[in-house]
Amino acid sequence: MSNLYNPRLHIMDHPLIKHKISMLRRKETNTKDFRQLVSEIALMIGYEATRDLPLEEAEIETPLMKTTGYFLPKQVCLTPILRAGLGMVDAMLTLIPAARVGHIGLYRDPKTFKPVEYYCKLPPDVAERVVIVLDPMLATGGSASAAIGFLKKRGVRLIKLVNIIGAPEGVEVIFREHPDVDIYLGCLDQKLNDHAYILPGLGDAGDRLFGTL
Ligand code: PRP
Ligand code: URA
């Protein structure tokens, strides 16, 4: 059966996300607005992606009485894939201010579309954390799969992948190579073009985010 029905694939179905992704796609959307939209969408997908994080109970006292409070243990590591994943970090830190942030630098070789690694810096206790990998685009899946591979080599056991737009080809690659990972997508698009760009997509996310077109 196609992995597009895999229960680990979570496609957001929310009018605010659909509206904001449509604005993001528009070719007229300028860098400032693009950056703002990426952040707003990341916050909403991040809310869903953190829905099953475990909580620790602790007694607290309100002005009226004692009760049980529920708190997130300090257990999350956000890991943007450079460059474009950086645009999602601040929003995710608004949700989880105590999270650590790792960075994985990868770019796609323009001829082969294969990921080339140029940077990797992760917190020393990353293996004990839930890692949320951030990247606006899941195209061939090569970059996200390589990033997840690095994390697994460092001993990470619980990994979630958060993308704003994904292609069916990328979803298939992630589930084939990493069937234990949950994918959270703002939108599942149609397919890749001959240059491995997502259709209809939004073009090059890193260039649009940083104004390097
Ligand atoms: C883009 C995007 C992903 C990757 C997706 O990055 O942000 O990291 O391509 O493509 P894939 O699924 O086929 O690997 P890019 O390589 O353009 O680097 P950049 O973010 O530095 O622009
Ligand atoms: N990377 C992007 O930024 N956009 C795509 O459509 C594919 C890869």
Q: What is the pLDDT of residues 49-79, one digit of tens each?
A: 999 999 999 999 999 999 999 999 879 999 9
Tell me, using a 6 A CB cutoff, whether residue 206 lines ligand 1: yes
| Residue ranges lining ligand 2, Cβ < 6 Å | 137, 139, 197-198, 201, 204-206
Between residues 3 and 47, which one has the greater pLDDT?
47
Task: Report pLDDT for 138.
Answer: 98
Tell me, using a 6 A CB cutoff, whether residue 143 lines ligand 1: yes
Task: Report pLDDT for 173.
Answer: 97
Give the model's confidence band at 2: pLDDT under 50 very low, under 70 low, under 90 confident, else very high: confident
Task: Report pLDDT for 27.
Answer: 98
Task: Report pLDDT for 21.
Answer: 98
Task: Report pLDDT for 136.
Answer: 98
Candidate from 140, 143, 162 with most ligand 1 atoms within 8 A of CB, to mutate: 143
Pairing of strands 158-166, 130-134: parallel
Four-point Cα dihedral 122, 90, 17, 163, nearest 10: -20
Domain residue extents for the chain: 2-52+75-210
Give the model's confidence band at 177: pLDDT under 50 very low, under 70 low, under 90 confident, else very high: very high
Task: Report pLDDT for 73.
Answer: 82
Q: Which fold has domain 2-52+75-210?
A: Rossmann fold (3.40.50)
Q: What mean pLDDT value characterizes the chain?
A: 96
Q: What is the pLDDT of residues 89-136, one digit of tens each?
A: 999 999 999 999 999 999 989 899 999 999 999 999 999 999 999 999
1 pLDDT exceeds 70?
no
* Cβ–Cβ < 8 Å for 67, 60: yes
